[in-house]
Chain A
């Protein structure tokens, strides 16, 4: 029988987690950034309270200030967690009996033009820092050229392309996946546009997002 737990019932066993220390650190860092953003947003909000008549800011005051305090507490909590995780990582590394292995730095040698094209098409695996940079740059330029080339030409299609292609590329999807995504996303956008058009919400000629429509 498992261990008894409390509250509304049983919680899952957190010891099941089997995460790499570096992953924990990056999650903690994201947590700190998120908490900081929350504090900034709430701070900005609260700083505006005095700009408005007291009659319309009672409720924002009642909720806003305590929420900011809680957000600061959350930020502090996340910072403490990050500090602990970093400390644990250091002590683990220092106490480790495993002999340290020196990993050679990735090559910064620039790939040739042919290699660059192959990298962009995904037919050559990315192994070095330079290759990664080339691929990132290539995809960014490609996206920008595509966007500018089609701007103002096809209305809502450009928006679909920007979303369906831009999104995957930004998240590191392989370029080979783009045609499939493009067709699927554009078809979906067209179907939705027609449905919305039929329901009388938007006239089709203006496009969905108004980007690229003169």
Chain B
């Protein structure tokens, strides 16, 4: 990889400006309740289409990782997690704020998140080549089974809703088949629409509709039902020294949580909702002699370190194998595609652009921590904006984002249709990710299957009997059927009764988890 070229490319004015804008947008948008990394990526993706490749990638990665930090600040100050990835931060953060230690928490979180991101970047740089070596040996049938496996993981992670997860994933895959066939170019399923004939249904439109416009509809409706929203008047002052001390005093906790975040990140379908709570659970179990729930600074650092690591680690399978494990990595893959890059070995041979991108990730983490700490008082004010304003604004932003994809009005119409679908999915507490993941994985699966057929015809063999494909098929089967056999193999755990009652009476954890479509691992004790 051309690291020298990467440094030169990154430290030019364009990427640096993009980095700064991305960090600020991420932190501020992340502070708005309900808007997490996926939303931020969804909104930013269309707006970066016409930027230089490196500018766009840097801005996107800074934006979505910054979003987690913005949400963590409001989790500490207002007991309102910006998104499900910040749930565990509310277990200790608000207690710290009540003790006048909000500044300390914000600083400690910034440092922990940055460390998590940097650790995961290390894995991305050093582990990716190993995976790539293995990826070079993969056959088309293996890629097909990988795509199926990826979909199965996402469907399985739809807590108790595997059936509908599969239906939505299948629908996403079928949406990707609208338009030209990936191998022959023959048009299909366009229903007479010239727009569908030439463009199909772009993933960006599905994402903008489902995540941004759908969220706008939900927010408007719910703001009407819950008209009053009071937030404490908490001020963030000082705490820099204490926050630094906290981070320096607990390096093992931060590193341990970061590693846990990396592991969770590389497994498709888990994501930050799991990692932040799992990290809190792990640290509270290891440090059971400590006091928890009363403002323990480890309890805010561990979840955020895990979040930071998970968000970057999700890129490892995405960038090496083209199999995204979460909606964020799916959108990053789409960003690569929009800029003419493809995941896999080719991506890591793209020279200075990839080197600059990999260098930008740790730089973004540090910048997010610095900017986040400096702008925390402003971020706190952002969180006070009424959902009655945010909801319509989301629809406007989403519609503009949809329009930018192809520059035609049909984009907006399709975006709005998916907005309605997204609204229904959220209202029914169904998983949102499968439809987006299906739309992304569909072309990969179809192209691989097409190649398998061509190879099979030429060699008169049946490729599905190859060992790797068989292993992946068995794994996919286990993942599919696993939820139905949970009672057979019991894993001991501890239930936080509703989580909200024990740790945090103010946060509707159940609702947030349902919204995040992830299976949770929660450990706690009464």
Name A residues whose Cβ lies closer than 8 Å to a Cβ of B.
1-17, 27, 30-31, 34-35, 38, 41-42, 45, 48, 52-53, 55-60, 62-64, 66-67, 70-71, 73-74, 77, 159-160, 163-164, 167-168, 171-173, 177, 180-181, 184-185, 188-189, 192-193, 195-196, 199-202, 208-211
Contacts and interface: CB of A to CB of B under 8 A. Distances in A.
Interface in B478-499: 482-483, 486-487, 489-499
Contacts of A30: 424, 427-428
A6 B396 CA distance: 43
Interface of B: 47, 49-51, 157, 159-160, 163-164, 166-167, 170-171, 173-174, 177, 181, 184, 186, 188-189, 191, 216-217, 220-221, 223-224, 270, 274, 278, 388-389, 391-393, 395-397, 399-400, 403-404, 407, 409, 412, 424-425, 427-428, 442, 445-446, 449-450, 453, 482-483, 486-487, 489-501, 509-510, 513, 519-526
Contacts of B166: 67, 70
Contact of A9 (B174, B425, B428, B521): B521
A62 B519 contact: no
A7 B389 contact: no
Nearest to A189: B396
20 contacts: A2-B497, A2-B526, A3-B495, A4-B490, A8-B274, A10-B522, A15-B498, A27-B427, A30-B427, A34-B428, A35-B164, A63-B174, A64-B174, A67-B170, A71-B167, A168-B392, A171-B217, A184-B393, A185-B392, A189-B396
Given A67-B173, A67-B174, A70-B163, 14 more contacts: A8-B157, A14-B510, A16-B498, A16-B501, A41-B171, A56-B184, A167-B216, A167-B395, A188-B393, A188-B396, A192-B400, A202-B404, A208-B399, A211-B409
A164 B396 contact: yes
Nearest to B401: A192
A209 B47 CA distance: 16
B91 to A, nearest CB: 14
A63 B169 CA distance: 10
Contacts of B500: 16
Contacts of A171: 217, 220-221, 224
Nearest to B438: A63
A196 B501 CA distance: 46
A31 B428 contact: yes
Contacts of A193: 400
B522 A9 contact: yes
Contact of B490 (A6, A16, A71, A189): A6
B167 A38 contact: yes
Given A10-B494, A73-B163, A195-B47, A52 B170 contact: no
Given A30-B424, A67-B174, A188 B522 contact: no
A124 B135 CA distance: 68
Contacts of A202: 403-404, 407
B498 A13 contact: yes
A192 B388 contact: no
B279 to A, nearest CB: 13
A65 to B, nearest CB: 10
Majority SS at the chain A contact face:
helix
A114 B221 CA distance: 29
Contact of B400 (A27, A31, A184, A196): A196
Given A45-B189, A164-B392, A7 B483 contact: yes
Contacts of B221: 171
Contacts of B274: 8-9
A174 B191 CA distance: 40
Most B C-beta atoms less than 10 A away, residue of A11, A15, A55: A11
A67 B519 contact: no
B174 A45 contact: yes
A34 B430 CA distance: 11
A179 to B, nearest CB: 12
Nearest to A53: B186
Most A C-beta atoms less than 10 A away, residue of B177, B400, B520, B526: B400
Given A4-B490, A59-B450, A66 B519 contact: no
Contacts of A211: 409
Given A4-B492, A167-B220, A70 B170 contact: yes
Contacts of B407: 201-202
B495 A13 contact: yes
A211 B409 CA distance: 9
A185 B487 contact: no
Nearest to A2: B495
Given A6-B491, A59-B177, A171-B221, A177 B388 contact: yes
Given A2-B494, A63-B170, A171-B217, A8 B521 contact: yes
Contacts of A67: 166-167, 170-171, 173-174
Contacts of A181: 388-389, 392
A70 to B, nearest CB: 5
Given A9-B278, A163-B392, A202-B404, A60 B163 contact: no
Contacts of B498: 12-13, 15-16
A62 B424 CA distance: 27
Given A63-B173, A173-B220, A11 B392 contact: no
Nearest to B182: A59
A4 B494 contact: yes
A12 B499 contact: yes
Contacts of A201: 49-50, 404, 407
Contacts of B496: 2, 10, 12
A74 B168 CA distance: 11
Given A12-B510, A13-B495, A173 B163 contact: no
A74 B400 contact: no
B363 to A, nearest CB: 24
Given A59-B449, A70-B163, A209-B399, A200 B50 contact: yes
B392 A184 contact: yes
A13 B497 contact: yes
A201 B160 CA distance: 43
Contacts of A8: 157, 270, 274, 491, 519, 521
A12 B524 contact: no
Given A27-B428, A60-B188, A196-B47, A9 B519 contact: yes
A177 B388 CA distance: 8
Nearest to A44: B191
